[in-house]
Amino acid sequence: MPVMLRRGLQREDVQGYLFISPWLIGVVVFFIGPMVASLVLSLTDYSIIAPGLSFLGVENYREIALDPLFWKSLGVTAYYLALDVPLGQVGSLALALLIHRQIRFKSLFRTILYLPSVTPIVAAASIWLWFLQPRFGLMNGALGLFGIDGPAWLASREWAVPGLALVTLWGIGGARMIIYLAGLQGVPEELREAARIDGAGVWRVFTAVTLPHLTPTIFFNVIIDIIGSFQQFSVAYIATDGGPDNSTLFYVLYLYRNAFNYFRMGYASALAWIMLLLLLAFTLVQFRGARRWVYYGGA
């Protein structure tokens, strides 16, 4: 039995609870409460605008299973995730390695690389719309210099998702890079030094010493990145609004449309719960797999 229960609630216990009560109330009111409400709503036809609601049981979930746009949005999100996560991780790690070196103007480079990630997404997406314009855009202009006839990017079903991935990859110098930088600073310099004395080259030092020590950081970044990519919304909402032909209909964009364009709050709540379960399953699988490749020092 916990000590506190054995001896009864003391004055300082009450004070402690009082101190954390703003946080507790916040969690219950703004987090647990809405979650429970959305679970209940997912079993109804609640629409905000129509008076009353009817209990539907699992009807919304059954409709989702038969909804072609649900599967389409899931496919689009998976495709984006497959492009964005590996490229984003490799890119931000490469930048972190560059910045980690002892070079002049290191702080300046770090600031410049970080800048895109603090640019408002609306501004970034609007600029990239012009970069990726098929006829006059800088991207196809640059490709044209090498004799490559560039694609229609955001106006093409095949290239719209890679185009949006480019927009978000522009910000690889952001939080991911900073976390990698912090991870790199935790790699023991004496181990690298020892490897070099033993005759290991740059690549060998990286793969045999740096990378294993970075695996907890990689693991953290990958988990966060997968969740973030699955929740991608703003870029598609601003740049393509899901088009052309739903080729950029991300899962969260479809959820948003159901909730706030079609006012199908019950259906959108069911979509949200499916997303939560998918992410939970994905994350658990990764934690299971992590035992094989993540190295936590002497553990």
Partner 1 sequence: MLRNRIGLVALAALVWCGLVPALAAAEKVVFWYRIGAAEFEWIRDELKPRFEAEFPDHELEVVHLSSSRAEADQKILIAVATNQHVDVVRTNPEINLTQYARQGTIVPIDEYAAVSGLDTENYYAAAIDMLTVDGKLYGLPYTALPRPVLWYNDKFFAGSGVAAPSADWTTDDWAAAARNLRVDSDGDGNPEVFGTGYSMSDVEVEMILNGFGGGFLSRDGTESLAGTPESLAGAQFIYDLIYKDNSAPTGDQMEGSLHEMFGSGRVAMNIGNYWNRNFYKAQMGEDDEFKMAPLPAGPLGRFQQYVAGCLSILKSTRSPQAAFEWIKYFTSEEINREYVEKGFNIGTRPAVNQDPQFGDDPFVQQFLPIYEVRPYNLPVWPENLRRPQYVELVRNAIERMYVLGEQPADVLPDLDRDITRLLRQRSL
Residue type, 210: T
User: Minimum Å distance from CB 63 to partner 1?
Assistant: 8
Span near partner 1 by CB under 8 A; candidates 77-85, 192-200, 238-246, 288-296: 238-246
Residue type, 106: K
d(CA 85, CA 125): 19
Span near partner 1 by CB under 8 A; candidates 22-30, 98-106, 174-182, 242-250: 242-250
Our finding on whether 150 is near partner 1 (CB under 8 A) is no
Which residues are CB-neighbours of 168 under 8 A, at least 6 positions away? 84, 88, 232, 235
Our finding on whether 263 is near partner 1 (CB under 8 A) is yes
d(CA 4, CA 16): 12
Q: Which of 35, 127, 143, 155 binds partner 1 (CB under 8 A)?
A: 155
Span near partner 1 by CB under 8 A; candidates 149-157, 175-183, 198-206, 207-215: 149-157
Residue type, 156: S
Our finding on whether 130 is near partner 1 (CB under 8 A) is no
Q: Which of 1, 49, 145, 197 binds partner 1 (CB under 8 A)?
A: 49
- Comparing CB distances to partner 1, the nearer of 11 and 135 is 135
Q: Which of 23, 136, 146, 203 binds partner 1 (CB under 8 A)?
A: 136
d(CA 42, CA 229): 24
User: Minimum Å distance from CB 160 to partner 1?
Assistant: 11
With the CA atoms of 175, 177, 182 and 188 taken in that order, what torsion angle do they form, in degrees rounded to the nearest 10? 160
Dihedral over Cα of 193, 195, 196, 198: its sign: positive
User: Minimum Å distance from CB 149 to partner 1?
Assistant: 11
Our finding on whether 75 is near partner 1 (CB under 8 A) is no
Our finding on whether 213 is near partner 1 (CB under 8 A) is no
Our finding on whether 134 is near partner 1 (CB under 8 A) is yes
User: Minimum Å distance from CB 159 to partner 1?
Assistant: 12
Q: Which of 245, 276, 277, 285 binds partner 1 (CB under 8 A)?
A: 245
Number of residues that bind partner 1 (CB under 8 A): 21
d(CA 291, CA 272): 29
Which residues are CB-neighbours of 233 under 8 A, at least 6 positions away? 250, 252, 253, 256
H runs (alpha helix) in 137-295: 138-145, 160-169, 175-185, 189-197, 202-205, 211-230, 234-239, 251-256, 265-293
Say whether 276 sits in a helix, a strand or coil: helix
Our finding on whether 260 is near partner 1 (CB under 8 A) is yes
